[in-house]
């Protein structure tokens, strides 16, 4: 139905606008979620929506709807909105060939809700067996979606994708009212149910948290585990976005080809990893996706663009248009991958005489992501002495600048972990400022 619908609406749009594009998204999802150690809900839902973007008299118009009784109305709304729309700096792309990447797992479609229910309940039971006072949550979500894109330049894109998410969370409240909350999970385009692994990781972190280690403020080595490292990397991702270039706010403006970070830093945007959460052969405008370095051996190589942002800035689109049927495209990222180093994680830890290892932060703190400045509370971090984790630190903050930190690297692990659509190694920085810690 969706495939026929997109062509029907395109015919209507082609008769009313100079050029047009139609996107139809449809899909279904099922979810099992536990909160406060008990089942909260089992849910199933579906969606079918259409977006129409036109170029009419040189300007962009857009409209979207989930009410498909009168497709002429959404087309007319798009055409009328073009009167006040942005000047179009692009043409809708002609058909092109995308790379082969696996994004659909039939097992997700047939994944039984009962299996997710049992996995969540078993995970919570394991946590409570260790500590009956824990407040636990768990969830499993399975979804499949279809996307159809067609435009008046002859483009036809038909995609089927699946998504699978599973995770566990535990909160422990101490006798003094202090709180320790730990979570672990994974996302994939195929069925990847690893609840026992997630529980093992949560229990290990809870065990490490039982002893409190006093820490004096100062500058010291800091080792980031992969899920904590994303906070610093967000600076480079935001600055490499074509929208920041368009607005003139990017700190990377005019610095293509310049060595900015440690030569061990190679950061890629990669839409072509089989079954990775944000892999897809074509972006939201039908431009082929690819693997593209943002930084290569510390040298800044590329901004990411959609069609309009590329046109405004005088660049070629990179296959990074991000959107839903209900929104116009904007430049976004696929999977972000920081290349591994050649040092085992165990050696990075062993080489620290006195420092920190950070597992997670509390929110975004006072970070200025665009400028690279950060001042964030350590939600879960541990003191390292003589290469060993000796206890949890409390009331501590990290402050610094991401650009400076990534010029001051002690080592990058050869091991990597996927955290959502990000694949990262462990990274140890030679020296960061720790403030507000216990004396």
pLDDT, tens digit, for every residue of 276-293?
999 999 999 999 999 999
Examine the pLDDT at 26 and tell me if it is beyond 70: yes
Mean pLDDT of 19-44: 97
Domain locations along the chain: 2-127+138-163, 211-232+340-435
Q: How far is CA 283 from the centre of its chain?
A: 15
Mean pLDDT over each residue of the chain, to the nearest integer: 95
Q: How far is CA 276 from the centre of its chain?
A: 11
pLDDT of 2: 73
Mean pLDDT of 401-415: 97
Positive or negative CA dihedral for 75, 79, 80, 86? positive
Examine the pLDDT at 315 and tell me if it is beyond 90: yes
Residue 320 has phi, psi (to 5 degrees) of -120, 25
Mean pLDDT of 83-101: 96
| Reported pTM | 0.94
Positive or negative CA dihedral for 103, 413, 333, 43? positive
* DSSP structure class, residue 259: B
Examine the pLDDT at 439 and tell me if it is beyond 60: no
* pLDDT-wise least confident of 174-178, 312-316, 320-324, 351-355: 174-178
CATH T-level fold of 2-127+138-163: PmbA/TldD fold (3.30.2290)
**Integer Cα distance of 289 and 304 in angstroms:** 11
4 exposed, middle or buried (CB, 10 Å; 0-12, 13-18, 19+)? exposed
């Amino acid at each position: 139905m969706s495939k026929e619908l997109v062509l029907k609406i395109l015919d209507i749009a082609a008769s009313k606008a100079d050029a047009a594009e139609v996107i139809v998204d449809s899909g279904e999802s099922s979810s099992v979620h536990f909160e406060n150690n008990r089942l909260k809900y089992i849910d199933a839902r579906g969606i079918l929506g259409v977006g129409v973007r036109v170029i009419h008299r040189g300007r962009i118009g857009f409209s979207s709807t989930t009410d498909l009784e009168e497709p002429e109305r959404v087309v007319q709304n798009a055409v009328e909105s073009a009167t006040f729309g942005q000047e179009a700096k692009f043409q809708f792309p002609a058909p092109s060939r995308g790379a082969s990447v696996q994004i659909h797992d039939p097992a997700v479609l047939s994944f039984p809700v009962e299996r997710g229910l049992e996995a969540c309940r078993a995970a919570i039971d394991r946590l409570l067996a260790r500590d009956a006072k824990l407040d636990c949550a768990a969830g499993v979500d399975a979804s499949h979606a279809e996307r159809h894109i067609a435009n008046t330049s002859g483009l036809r894109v038909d995609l089927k994708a699946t998504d699978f998410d599973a995770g566990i969370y535990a909160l422990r409240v101490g006798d003094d009212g202090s709180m320790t909350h730990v979570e672990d999970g994974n996302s994939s385009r195929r069925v990847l149910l690893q609840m026992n692994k997630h529980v093992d990781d949560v229990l290990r972190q809870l065990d490490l948290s039982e002893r409190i280690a006093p820490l004096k403020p100062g500058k010291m080595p800091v080792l980031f585990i992969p899920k904590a490292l994303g906070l610093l990397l967000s600076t480079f991702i935001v600055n490499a976005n074509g929208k920041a270039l368009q607005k003139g706010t990017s700190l990377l403006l005019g610095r293509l080809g310049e060595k900015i970070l440690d030569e061990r830093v190679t950061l890629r945007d990669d839409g072509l990893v089989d079954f990775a959460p944000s892999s897809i052969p074509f972006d939201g405008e039908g431009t082929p996706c690819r693997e593209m370095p943002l930084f290569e051996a510390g040298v800044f190589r590329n901004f990411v663009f959609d069609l309009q942002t590329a046109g405004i800035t005088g660049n070629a689109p990179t296959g990074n248009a991000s959107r839903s049927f209900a929104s116009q495209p904007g430049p976004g990222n696929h999977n972000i991958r920081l290349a591994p180093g050649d040092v085992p994680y165990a050696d990075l830890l062993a080489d620290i005489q006195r420092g920190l290892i950070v597992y997670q932060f509390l929110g975004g703190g006072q970070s200025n992501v665009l400028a690279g400045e950060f001042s964030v509370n350590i939600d879960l971090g541990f003191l390292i002495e003589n290469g060993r984790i000796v206890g949890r630190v409390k009331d501590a903050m990290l402050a610094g600048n991401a650009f400076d930190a990534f010029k001051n690297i002690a080592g990058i692990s050869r091991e990597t972990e996927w955290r959502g659509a990000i694949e990262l190694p462990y990274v140890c920085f030679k020296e960061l400022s720790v403030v507000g810690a216990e004396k």
